[in-house]
Structure 1
Amino acid sequence: MTGRADGIRIGVGLSSMGYLLAGLGACVAVLARDLDESTGRLALLSSAFAVGLVVVAVVGPMLLRSWALTTVLRIGSLVCAVGAVLLALAPAYGVAVAGGLCVGLGGALLVLVAPLVLHGPTAAARLSRVNAVASATGILAPIAIGAVDSLGPTGRLALLAAVPPLVGLAVLKVKPVDGQPDEPLSGGVASTRTAAVAVALGWLRVVLAVGVEFCFVVWAVARLLATGLPMATSALLGSAFPIGMAVGRAVGPIHWRTWSPVVPGGLLAIIGTLLVSLFDSPAAVTIGLVIAGTGVAPLYPVTLAALVATPGPNPTRLAAIGALASGTAILVTPAALASLARLADLRTAYLIAIPLILALIALSRRPDRREALQPAHGDTLHRVDCLTPRAQQSD
């Protein structure tokens, strides 16, 4: 893969994955109805995706040492396509969970490969285009699921739209790419203890950022359903959060004085969370989802950029640590929200996002956080932006 073909293939892969992930919340609600399961039990769908991220975080670097990047990209695309088919056609709970696991494994491989394929002097411009397309595609998923569901057949069939591009990406013959950047992101060499502390803090920040984001990705449609809206309308309005995410990522991180962009983004996300939680009007919840999405949008890219810019460790290893952080967050926070919802109700449980955001702000409020975001090599910050799944990630 060379030049323009790199951007096209990575764009196709991340956009298809972003479509599937953005539709996850609506898919959970539709599956609960179709399979006569509780939405709490179907929270395992997001857990299955998280397991995929954790597995790839462990074995990904080893795969990249053994196989060409194009091989890993093909495998990830094909596994993700299989997962989409299983989710769309699942006749039983176990099949749906297997589909979520396949989407997680395949999508995590795409996330790991993307910044290694799109490197070099023109990476910033190419990744900006890829992220823009992926964000726009993510908006379509809840809308498509709601539209198909309103026509009669289950809205899950809308997930099949991601299958043809993923299969095409898997079978298209291209020249293998064996090279990948392996230089550290900083010219200096940090002490082992200092680097370990920096990586641990960076990992925790990514966990908090992804945890907040997936609370909304998984439970937004269920929250709209709880206001009394029908399934199709809830799925359609579920696009409010990815729309807010797209707006936030189009605007980019907001810098105010020496504060980290996490601070204004986090405060905006808190305002949106309060609207979603404290009001039971569909209009207020929808507006809250848009505001929350706008505020949440920069949290993951900014925290992951800081992690990958940690001096010393290899960027491939740091990207894998970022995937591990994402997997940890997706395993824990949506499930914790579901547990709280069983004890109280979903609107009250949504308040779990606020302490997560406050903890992230507290860990990111130091002025030197902004310095950590500056790429040590010209395009580092732009490279890691493509890791967002609602883009998204994806996000």
Structure 2
Amino acid sequence: MSETTSQSSTGAPSAASSRPRIFAATFVSELAVGANVGGVGSLIALLARTFGVEINDFAILGSFLGLGMMLFSLISRWLLEFTAGTILRLASYMVILGATGLAFAPFRWLIILSGLFTGLGSSLVILIVPAVLAGPRRARDIALANGASSAASVVTPLVYGFIDSIPGFQGRWAALIMTFPAIFVLATIKNVDFVNTPSAYAERWKGRRGRKRRKDFSDTFGEVGTVQAFGGPENVADDELARATMATSASNVHIPDLTVSEYVPASEAPNINHWLQFNRIFIGSFRVFLSLLPEFALYTWGVARLVQINVPVATAASLGAVFPLGVAIGRLSASFLIRWRYILSASVVATIVGTAIVSLGVNTPQLVAGLIIAGMGTALLYPITVDDLVALPGISANQAAAYSSLGGGAAVFLLPVILPLVQKTLSTGHSLLLLIPMVILMYALPNGRKYQPLPDRDAEH
């Protein structure tokens, strides 16, 4: 971010630029994303009870975030020609409209349409957050914003359960919790000049000129030495669930400094074996896809399993918080565990054990324990597989980010569609057991670290 683009046309800071409005809006917008991701399982169970249908009838609601991730990653080049303010406003309007429909819509088809709006709006937030946080403090800012999302994903199931336990209230009304961050964002960015102040870093820079800048949440962390913590500000199609881990820790597994691409993209290498390179990238992207299957399956069907063993829906909706809690614990541990050489093996074992307990457990304590263990296990699968993709010879960090976003989005989109079809033959518990061979396959596939350099291009490095 150059200083010239950070200044207003007059060279003087605007009144709004001296206040951390852009960071605040970004931070709060992530609350809606976390509420969407963490609360979808509870919401589906409550909607199924309200409409008197099977839980699988509303399972498609869990797919829309992945649909948006794939769609917006493909068209991000054109979307980002708009200002960040335009994207944030559009995302906020979609979340408000969708959440209101989820809370009050009287027809199932309208519920599905509302879920689509909410998923697409959340995906737009995922798209724009890294762009508006571009700058030397990008990694820590994203970590904080991701922390807000993780906190919301833990709290939201509790809110659904609490609202449902109040006589005369419907638990699905808690979907309105997603509207509050969106309304705050709309109010906060109302007077922000996103043309001359396109990022939180630019806003801070302007605020320092001639006056003391008011501190914001990001000052909690020290300086970070990289601007391009994950592919650079022009590539913003990354999955919300792992941005913070990738930006602050997982990059140390292979490439300590992602500001410089170690390899030239394969497309620029004249004599490269393109089939071999395609095979490498496909396997890397497929591993990313596999890594997200258990995480999103348990986000959606963890509550369903609790209901299946006759836990009251309101209680099950609240207990659904233990899985995102396990994920949050696992991701917070990344700062010191990500460098452990056996971290992937440990994560795989924890995922398998936790998933097996959730699948085969017969009482509430067993399922709660399984959800926590599985959450801690799945927490780092995605960041590590993305890091392996970034480390592939002959691929830039930007390309790796795009491929990982497509792989992750495909998992989030397809899982709620495919698993209900499987559950027509198998029970919910037994169908979740199918995740175990998927995790083992992810572990068994080549991770790229032992690849020999490709001819000509890689040999030069």
Report the CA distance between 1:79 and its aligned residue: 1.2
Per the alignment, residue 75 of structure 1 pairs with: 90
Structure number with greater Rg is: 2
CA distance in 2, matches of 1:228, 1:328: 32
Matched residue of 1:206: which SS?
helix
1:341 touches 1:349 (CA, 8 Å); kept in 2?
yes
TM-score after normalising by structure 1: 0.85
Tell me which of 139, 148, 153 is aligned to 1:133.
148
Report the CA distance between 1:10 and its aligned residue: 1.8
**CA distance change for structure 1 residues 142 and 182 in 2, over 3 Å: closer, same or farther?**
closer
1:52 touches 1:102 (CA, 8 Å); kept in 2?
no
Letter aligned with residue 441 of structure 2 = A
Per the alignment, residue 381 of structure 1 pairs with: none
CA distance in 1, matches of 2:379, 2:341: 20
Matched residue of 2:261: which SS?
coil
Residue 167, structure 1, aligned to residue 219, structure 2: no
CA distance in 1, matches of 2:54, 2:96: 26
CA distance in 2, matches of 1:278, 1:185: 47
Per the alignment, residue 331 of structure 2 pairs with: 249
Gap regions ≥5 residues in structure 2:
1-16, 200-231, 236-258, 268-273, 452-461
CA distance in 2, matches of 1:255, 1:50: 26
Residue 214, structure 1, aligned to residue 296, structure 2: yes
TM-score after normalising by structure 2: 0.73
| Larger relative helix fraction | 1
Per the alignment, residue 233 of structure 2 pairs with: 181
Report the CA distance between 1:88 and its aligned residue: 1.4
Letter aligned with residue 174 of structure 2 = A
2:67 touches 2:409 (CA, 8 Å); kept in 1?
yes
Report the CA distance between 1:60 and its aligned residue: 2.1
Q: RMSD in angstroms over aligned alpha carbons?
A: 2.6
Per the alignment, residue 360 of structure 1 pairs with: 442
Q: Which piece of structure 1 moves more, 270-279 or 159-168?
A: 159-168
Question: Which structure is higher in RCO with an 8 Å CA cutoff and minimum separation 6?
Answer: 1
Q: What does residue range 184-333 of structure 1 map to in structure 2 within 5 Å? A: 186-192=261-267, 193=274, 196-252=278-334, 254-255=337-338, 258-259=341-342, 261-307=343-389, 318-333=400-415
CA distance in 2, matches of 1:113, 1:19: 18
Report the CA distance between 1:319 and its aligned residue: 4.0
CA distance in 1, matches of 2:260, 2:113: 37
Matched residue of 2:264: which SS?
coil
Report the CA distance between 1:309 and its aligned residue: 6.0
1:60 touches 1:109 (CA, 8 Å); kept in 2?
no
Gap regions ≥5 residues in structure 1:
370-395
1:25 touches 1:219 (CA, 8 Å); kept in 2?
yes
CA deviations over 1:30-84 (Å, ceiling 9, x no partner): 11111122211211112233322222122222111x2112221221222122211
Per the alignment, residue 30 of structure 2 pairs with: 14
% identity of equivalent residues: 30
Per the alignment, residue 377 of structure 1 pairs with: none
Q: Which piece of structure 1 moves more, 340-349 or 187-196?
A: 187-196
Per the alignment, residue 43 of structure 1 pairs with: 59
Matched residue of 1:23: which SS?
helix
CA distance in 2, matches of 1:26, 1:310: 39
Letter aligned with residue 136 of structure 1 = A
